[in-house]
Homo-oligomer: A and B are copies of this chain.
Amino acid sequence: MSSNSFGKKLVMTTFGESHGEMIGAILDGVPSGLKIDRELISYRLSLRKGGRNSFVTPRNEDDEIEIISGLKDEIATGAPLAFIIKNKNIKKRDYQDLVGKFRPGHAHYTYLKKYGLFEESGGGRASARETAMRVACGAVAEMILREVGIQSISFVSKIKDVVIDSCDDFFKTLFCEPTLITDKSLFIPDEEKNARAENILDGLIKQGDSLGGRITFCAQFLPVGLGDPVYEKISANLAKAMMSIPAVRGFELGNGEDLSEIHGSQFNDEMTLDGFSSNHSAGILGGITNGELLYGHVHFKPTSSIRKKQKTLNAEGKEVELEMKKGRHDPCVAIRGSVVVKAMLDLTLADALLINMSTRLDDLKKKYERII
């Protein structure tokens, strides 16, 4: 019941505050024998990092990861992996305007009421800084999935009227060439649309405002049979995973059509000798993977920290004005958030993979042969 842990068999536990000495994570349950690919971890972290361009927070952390346990010659031993990243680029001064004032839309208020005290500088645990550890652990999950051929992607699919529709063929293109996503400033896998969204954000930054956004995620080559009835549907676990990301307010499987307007005869995927003739189910039937592309959307609200002047209360209950002149925030958290979405997707899938090992008596017996 640790509230800072995620997963059942592949268990990530994170610690550390935004402006503390370091942040870290323990990843327990990594199968022994897995080769740890440090470059993949660093690469994923680099995508999440601030300071990459003018559309993300200028807080530019090295995010140099140290792995301090669980390895022998870069191979996982079955012991818990522990990661730390030292916080270097801390500017406590920038937060001085905020001290003692509740930031509208921010967790400061609820944390203070719940715990009786709050580390305001940098947002403490309520900061998105924590998600760096999700990305590091997600990269290890990705290595596990890679061993059995599973792949995943995520990208920004909607900012205002800039929209990328879900489509199986387009997903497949992206799986072949994921740099179509990652070489874009905003992770919108379309040159022209990315440019249009850049314009929108440029205007927004000038106004000191922020914007929400929609992320699309997709995984391919999943086996049939991941996920469990009734309360451990893989779709339910995915929803929880995504909703645990700061600023996420919505989750949907499939391509985002309005389900209240669709008929069963349109939505059902008929089966033929060539397989399913459509994929409205988005890869999940009854909470269990059916082997098709698994895809859906994650909705981020606009960043709560904006430069515009806002009315609020201070901790003494007096009305005050808040103007965050400095602080370093993302105009649209969904952009970096898309990297975290992939991490949570990979962690959820790898966990399901490790859990689903003894569903059938056949498997139990086959496995037992090795064990003796």
Bound state CA distance, A239 and B292, in angstroms?
23
- For A114, list chain B residues within 8 Å (CB): 32, 78, 224-225, 288, 356, 359
Partner of A115, one of B3, B22, B24, B359: B359
For window 16-40 of chain A, which residues contact chain B by CB distance below 8 Å? 16-17, 20-24, 26, 28-29, 31-34
Q: Does A313 contact B (CB under 8 A)?
A: yes
Taken residue by residue from 142 to 157, chain A's Cβ proximity to chain B (1 for < 8 Å, 0 otherwise) reads as 0010011000000000
- 22 A–B contacts, CB within 8 A, in A order: A1-B9, A5-B28, A24-B82, A26-B26, A32-B361, A33-B360, A104-B269, A109-B290, A110-B224, A110-B289, A114-B288, A209-B263, A209-B264, A210-B263, A211-B260, A212-B260, A213-B260, A238-B243, A270-B312, A273-B319, A357-B363, A366-B370
How far is it, in angstroms, between the C-alpha of A249 and the C-alpha of B313 when the chains are bound?
38
Q: Is the CB of B270 within 8 A of A104?
A: yes
Q: A33-B361, A130-B230, A213-B260 are in contact. Are A311 and B272 (CB under 8 A)?
A: yes
Copies in the complex: 4
How does the 8 Å CB contact mask read for A118-155 relative to B, with 1 for contact and 0 for none?
Answer: 11000011100010000000000000100110000000
Given A211-B260, A261-B160, A371-B356, answer yes or no on A288-B111 (Cβ-Cβ < 8 Å).
Answer: yes
A271 contacts the other chain (CB 8 A): yes
Counting chain B CB atoms within 10 Å of each CB, which of A22, A210, A358 scores highest? Answer: A358
Q: Which residues of B contact A99 (CB under 8 A)?
A: none
**In the docked arrangement, what's the CA distance between A8 and B362, Å?**
20
CB contact under 8 A between A364 and B148, given known A237-B240, A273-B319: yes
**Are B364 and A370 in touch, CB under 8 angstroms?**
no
A246 within 8 A of B: yes
Whole-angstrom distance between the alpha carbons of A314 and B23 in the complex? 41
The reply to whether B249 and A250 contact each other, CB–CB distance below 8 Å, is no
A169 CB, min distance to chain B CBs, angstroms? 22
A362 contacts B33, C-beta separation under 8 Å? yes
Nearest chain B residue, comparing its CB with the CB of A350: B364
Q: Is there a chain B Cβ closer than 8 Å to A214's Cβ?
A: yes
A113→B353 CA distance, assembly (Å): 15
Q: Top 5 A-B pairs ranked by shortest CB distance?
A: A107-B286, A250-B252, A210-B264, A357-B357, A212-B259
Contact assessment for A105 and B370 in the assembled complex, using a CB-CB cutoff below 8 Å: no
Q: How far is the CA of A304 from the CA of B161 in the complex (A)?
A: 33
